[in-house]
Structure 1
Amino acid sequence: MPETSGRTSPPTDRVIAILDFFAGRPQERFGVSELARRLALSKPTCLGIVTSLSEAGYLVRDTADKSYRLGPSLITLGHRAQESMRVSPAAREELRRLSARFGITAALSAVVDDRITLLDLVAPAGVRPGVEIGQSYPFAPPVGLMFVLWDDGAAREWLAREPTIPLRTDTERLDRVIAECRADGYLVERLTPSGRRLYSLMAGMSATLPDELRVLLGELVSDIGERVYLRGERTGRGRHDISVISAPVYDHYRRQVMVASMHVGKSLPHSAITERARAVVTTADAVTAQLGGVKPIWR
């Protein structure tokens, strides 16, 4: 179970449970009886909560069948949350350009309260990206390399964290990864069956994983940086299976605050990888400029 910072409030937990239930079923409607049954709440308690949420606009009540669905106040709340994370409409427009140019899913993410959180995402029409805005992952090795590559202090702190799975660290390779990514300004991760399973297993989980799951993940990924695609390692003119290409976004203190990413998920030749990587850097630089940020110069 995740650690808590203090006493919890059972009444508040029930409100959160109802909102989370609807959030997981955005196209569906539920009556009080079914909602109470599904969430193991008493019907009077459930009715009181959904009535208050409806009056506040967080749920909408259908007067014909007396069912409930998500309400418009959540749209405003979501926009405010994104603004607080410094995701502006202009930043979203940069993601739209990147997505439209290559027909891919583009995203912005950040480390929020020690968890990697997806702040915004734009996918091509008709594409289900497999991740959702607000989805989060534990920020601990081996997950989160893209958030520490460009900061020596952040990298040391991250490596010192309790890893989510048993790991070995090839220091020489990790040094190469850091040097090359800083020189290029981006990180390219290879697409592997283990990588696909890793993130699907870890989504929404706490940093403290059950021992059985830690062992399973340890079989999937055993070395930090093993999935990184390095230019010097390519052979011939072949194609390479690529998962994600990422680039850092900075604030005015030259600190990395976000990551702009392109979800590729297919095989590409080196020239296409480079083209897409440079486009991701352009997107990240544009968001940096919108934040009034300054991009450090690596020598």
Structure 2
Amino acid sequence: MSRPSPQTDRLIALVDLLAARPADDFSLAEIARGLGVGKATVHPMLTTLTRAGWLLRHPVRRTYRLGPALVAAGRAAAEGDPALDLARPVMRRLAADTGLGVLALVPGGDAAGEDDLRVGELVRTRGTGTTLGMRLGDRVRPRPPLGSVTVAWGGPHAVDTWLARLDTEPTTPGADSPAVSAARTALEPALAGIRARGWVVETESRMRDRLDSLVADLEIELGTGDWDSTGHAAALRRAIADIGSTFDPSDALPATVEPDTVYRVSSVNAPVFDPDGQVAVALCLIDHPDPLTGRDVRALGERVRAAADEVTAALHGHEPDAPPPATG
């Protein structure tokens, strides 16, 4: 196991701090507070990074912001991924056409896990769009029901690895735990539906409705003010039991999209395939503010699939079960 490097961690945190607010300048004191360390610790880092061009120091205000050397590094990193390079103009058009934010998630292995997804690009159109709280370079470890846009085309091993993340206790090798077995039964129709449509819709689970109801019930009971902590504990136990019996991962990953059903959409996603038939990038529409009918969800799904297909064609890619495109 590699040894931790606090100084390296502080360096990364410093760049992330400034990158989160690129239009702002930061004083030495503000940076130290943001990192939770003393000014004496931060000052040598700032001096070295400024000398290297990673930071710019204002000569009068003595504040810092990101420097031009990082721009060059970012461009060099971007040029290393042809799928993202081809996806960017398509993402901008998709964002402009739909008025929604667009993320590009890139599957990739590193020490954190071979099945992680990395935020390779994002396009905001609403100014205050959440982009699901993600930033460029962030990594996500998919856990059912999230991540189906890559898993659906990944074969049995990818599905098994994905479902295994629901395990909370060791099980017999090769055997599903009860949680995984239930999820497999619930999600296999969803994965089949995704492959048939060519796109994914992830929705806010119906559990949210139940939780809202439970909270309202608790507020009523708590508002009476005539019961003690034993009553509080009993109410919480009832809530937890109800949540456990209500949870169904397929709630957030519909196998079919009914035209007249109303959905609270978290994201609508479609895969870009490379020349080996692997998912190179997942394009994700996000930030839709209102519930949508299934008819509208289908329209968004077809739009994001068309965008992903355009990038696949430019990349000379193909779906896993389809022959490679003819070239000449």
TM-score range, shorter chain: 0.7 to 0.9
* Correspondence list, 1:1-299, <5 A: 5-112=1-108, 113=110, 114=113, 115-130=116-131, 131=133, 132-152=135-155, 153-161=157-165, 163=167, 167=179, 169-192=182-205, 222-231=247-256, 234=258, 237-263=260-286, 264-297=288-321
Write out per-residue CA displacement over residues 159-200 of structure 1, whole angstroms, 9 at most, x where no aligned residue.
Answer: 2335589956343332211211111111112234868xxxxx
SS across alignment from 2:277: coil
Q: Do the aligned partners of 2:84 and 2:281 also contact (CA within 8 Å) in 1?
A: no
Q: Do the aligned partners of 1:190 and 1:241 also contact (CA within 8 Å) in 2?
A: yes
d(CA) in 1 for partners of 2:77, 2:246? 33
d(CA) in 2 for partners of 1:103, 1:94? 14
Identity %: 30
d(CA) in 1 for partners of 2:9, 2:194? 43
d(CA) in 2 for partners of 1:220, 1:65? 58
d(CA) in 1 for partners of 2:245, 2:268? 20
Q: Could you state the TM-score of these two structures normalised by the residue count of structure 2?
A: 0.72
TM-aligned CA distance change 1:62 to 1:242, over 3 Å: same
d(CA) in 1 for partners of 2:297, 2:74? 33
Report the CA distance between 1:40 and its aligned residue: 4.6
Q: Which has the larger radius of gyration?
A: 2
Q: Do the aligned partners of 2:191 and 2:255 also contact (CA within 8 Å) in 1?
A: no
d(CA) in 2 for partners of 1:173, 1:194? 15
SS across alignment from 1:126: coil
Residue-pair matches, total? 272
Q: Do the aligned partners of 2:84 and 2:120 also contact (CA within 8 Å) in 1?
A: no
Q: Could you state the TM-score of these two structures normalised by the residue count of structure 1?
A: 0.78
TM-aligned CA distance change 1:94 to 1:34, over 3 Å: closer
Q: Of Structure 1 and Structure 2, which has the larger fraction of its residues in helix?
A: 2
SS across alignment from 2:12: helix
TM-aligned CA distance change 1:173 to 1:39, over 3 Å: closer
Write out per-residue CA displacement over residues 197-231 of structure 1, whole angstroms, 9 at most, x where no aligned residue.
Answer: xxxxxxxxxxxxxxxxxx9xx86993333212333
Give ranges in structure 1 of 5+ residues lacking alignment: 196-214
Report the CA distance between 1:117 and its aligned residue: 2.0
SS across alignment from 1:258: strand
